[in-house]
Structure 1
Amino acid sequence: MKHIFQIAAVFLLLMGCGNKNSEASASEEQGEETGIVVSQDQFDTNNLTMGTMEKRTFPKMVETSGMIDVPPENRASVSAFMGGFVKQTSLLIGDKVKKGQLLVVLENQEFVQMQQEYLEVFNQLDFLKAEFERNQILFDEKIASQKNLLQAKSNYQTAQARYQGLGEQLRMLNISPSNVEKGIITSQASIYAPISGSVTKMNVAKGSYVSPATEILEIVDNEHVHLELTVFEKDILKVKKGQKIKFKIPEASEEAFNAEVHLVGTSIDNTKRTIKVHGHLEQEDGNFLPGMFVDAMIMTDTIKTWSLPEEAIIESEGNHYVLKLIAKKDGSYTFDRVAVKQGGTFDGYTEIISNELNETDQFLTKGVFDMIGG
């Protein structure tokens, strides 16, 4: 019986040791599952790279939107000073024009009537002037009355004022007064380009009637374009002249462009509680067109903080992670997936917010997506 108890005790002891060994093995396996192991061959084949956090300068941004525009002097709305029928025009939207180029020719009988009135006044001036001077001499010699002198003076000055006024009206219609004085009368008035640029609107066709209030066409010079941004009232005190702007044209390109705050408005839109900010582009040769919508970020301040390349951070199930190196042995790398909070992103780097990481830690900076799988 004593031998039986001894055998049973040995058996129980062995069973206990076996359980401890099993628990240790399970614990080791569980520890291995917490890391991501990458062999040296995988590391080289996939061109994986590692790096440490570095302190970089990140700008504080004010988000805004707006559009590409041109200065007022680079936009011209062309209209007629007097109504008329379109006699000649050959322009289409997109055509390039130069300052002084013929745009439209209008025809109207009123142009003829105005020239006739001008010519009549012109022909009367010499007579009225001579009459005024004659009465002045007679008055000085006390032969003519002052009444006759004043009447002659009034007639001459009234005609002279009418002559000058009609002459200015003819010049506004681009009709030469000197030609009219020679008896050359025309029924047509020409309209010339006030600036160089491209035709962006064309509202008439040959034969259509144009009233003085009608916009015939619009010319825009794209040589100098700028940003017209709208900033909300809560952010306006942060915006100053000289601050950098990064902007994109979301409908046309993902490329980011640079600009600078040139003017900050001084009045708030009472309805929208916004203010206008005017920005100058660093490069104006980007085929920008007035009216293009832009999304912009105004850099109002900077902060220096820890960061990693943007590619080193991946989002998974609503959280952001990095792969931290926890072991390197036997030709393999073991990484631990660490949850982090990310701040702003600028120039390819993202701000890392975490109390568990330090500058000596190493991270997988390229190929993270392949390891975690998004």
Structure 2
Amino acid sequence: MKNIFQFVAIILLLMGCGNKNNEDSSSAETRGKTDIIVTQDQFNTNDLTISAMERRTFPKMVETSGMIDVPPENRASVTAFMGGFVKQTSLLIGDQVKKGQLLVILENQEFVQMQQDYLEVYNQLDFLKTEFERNQTLFDEKIASQKNFLQAKSNYETAKARYQGLREQLQMLNISPSKVEQGNISSQAAIYAPISGSITKMNIAKGSYVSPATEILEIVNNDHVHLELTVFEKDILKVKKGQKIEFRIPEASEDAFKAEVHLVGTSIDDAKRTIKVHGHLEHEQGNFLPGMFVDALIMTDTTKTWSLPEEAVIESEGNFYVLKLVEKQDGGYTFERVAIKQGSTYGGYTEVISTSLTETDQFLTKGVFDLIGG
């Protein structure tokens, strides 16, 4: 019986040692999952870099979107003062025009009738003026009746008003009253460019009829473009004039551009609960076109916090990590993968939020992706 107890004791002792060996093995595997060892040759070959966290200023952002636009004075919708048929035009969308350049020639017999009416009242005006002055003299001398004087005055004032009205209409049609007074009557009227710019819309063709309500073409001057952004009501109290804007045109470029808040709207869109924010570009760019959609960030405030270069922080399976240096020996470097909370990213640096890290810790700041993977 004594031998049996000794045998059982030996068996239990062996089982206990086996469990201890398993625990040690499991512990080693766990450390192996979090620690990464890099030899000196690997470190030098891959040009890896180690540095500490540094305090940097990060802006607080309001995300918004909008479009590139131009001021109202840089956009002209060209219409006709009176209807007519298109006699001549040689413009296409994209053509550049100068202010005062001939755009379209319209033709209409009504132009002829207007010039005839003007010439008729012009020729009567001298006679009516003389008749008015004569009756005024006779009335002052009590020779003519007041009735005749008032009639002459009415005829002259009516003709003068009609003359002035027709003259203004001819000038709006770009028909010279002076030439009409010389007997030069034409059935054509010219339309000139009110601003310099490029043709963005062309709604006519030769021979087509243009009514006074029809937009003939549109001219846009891109010399000064700006941002028209839409900000939601929840963010509007954070936005102030003079704040910096960083924007991108996602469909055209990955580059970031700078602007500044110039005006903040004073009324809210009831349906969308948004407000308009007008931004001026920091540097005028000739390649921006009205109508381009933009994604923008308005910098409303700043905060100073610990950070690492953007490439030092890697995402893996929805979590963010950094590689902290835990040991440096002649044979290489040992890094520990530490989970963090990623904050804002700006200017190539990422805000690092963690209670377990200190300012004296060293981190791998270049080559992290190659060691951890994405």
Q: Which whole-Å CA distance do the structure 2 matches of 1:227 and 1:20 have between them?
A: 70
Q: Relative to 1, partners in 2 of residues 1:332 and 1:122: Cα closer, same or farther, differing over 3 Å?
A: same
For residues 293-329 of structure 1, the C-alpha deviation after alignment (integer angstroms, 9 at most, x for no partner) is 0000000000001111110111111111111111111
2:72 maps to a residue whose letter is P
Unaligned runs of 5+ in 2: none
- Trace 1:31-180 onto structure 2 (pairs within 5 A): 31-180=31-180
Q: Specify whether residues 146 and 40 from structure 1 end up closer, same or farther in structure 2 by C-alpha distance, changes over 3 A only.
A: same
1:193-228 CA deviation, whole Å, 9 max, x = no partner? Answer: 000000000000110000000000000000000000
Measured against aligned partners, the alpha-carbon deviations of 1:131-167 in whole angstroms (never above 9, x if no partner) come to: 1112112222222111001001100110010000000
Distance 1:137 1:324 in 2: 109
List aligned pairs for 1:266-277, cutoff 5 A: 266-277=266-277
Decide whether aligned partners of structure 1 residues 276 and 20 sit closer, same or farther in structure 2, where only a CA change above 3 A counts. Answer: closer
Counterparts of 1:195-274 in structure 2, within 5 Å, are: 195-274=195-274
Q: Provide the secondary structure at the position in 2 that maps to 1:212.
A: coil
Contact 2:80 2:211 in 1 (8 A): yes
SS in 2 for 1:115: helix
SS of the counterpart of 1:301? strand
Residues 371, 139 of structure 1: alpha-carbon distance in 2 compared, 3 angstrom cutoff? same
Question: Matches of residues 7-46 of structure 1 in structure 2 within 5 Å?
Answer: 22=21, 26=25, 29-30=28-29, 31-46=31-46
> Residues 137 and 48 of structure 1: is their aligned pair in 2 closer, same or farther, counting only changes over 3 Å?
same
Select between 175-184 and 134-143 the one with higher mean Cα deviation.
134-143
1:373 and 1:134, CA in 2 relative to 1: closer, same or farther beyond 3 A? same
Q: 1:361 aligns to what?
A: 361
1:223-276 deviation line (CA, Å, top 9, x unaligned): 000000000111101000000000000010110000000000111111111110
Q: Show CA shifts across 1:83-130 (max 9, x none).
A: 000000000000000000000000000000000000000000111111
1:320 corresponds to: 320
TM-score computed with the length of structure 2 as normaliser: 0.94
Residues matched between the structures, number: 370
Kindly state the Cα deviation for residue 34 of structure 1 after the two structures are TM-superposed.
3.5
Tell me if the contact between 2:84 and 2:106 (Cα under 8 Å) persists in the aligned partners: yes
Report the Cα offset of residue 19 of structure 1: 5.9
Amino acid at match of 1:26: S
1:336 partner amino acid: E
Q: CA deviation at 1:29?
A: 3.7
**Matched residue type, 2:341:** K
Distance in 1, Cα, partners of 2:66 & 2:60: 19
Q: Which runs of 5+ in 1 are unaligned?
A: none
> What letter corresponds to residue 41 of structure 1 in structure 2?
D
Letter in 1 for 2:93: I
Between the two proteins, what is the percent identity of the paired residues? 78
In structure 2, the residue corresponding to 1:119 is in which secondary structure?
helix
AA aligned opposite 1:250: P
Q: Please state if 1:350 is matched with 2:367.
A: no
CA–CA distance in 2 between the matches of 1:249 and 1:238?
A: 24
Q: Aligned partners of 2:169 and 2:79: how far apart in 1?
A: 15
Q: Alpha-carbon deviation of 1:354?
A: 0.6
**C-alpha distance in 1, partners of 2:187/2:91?**
22
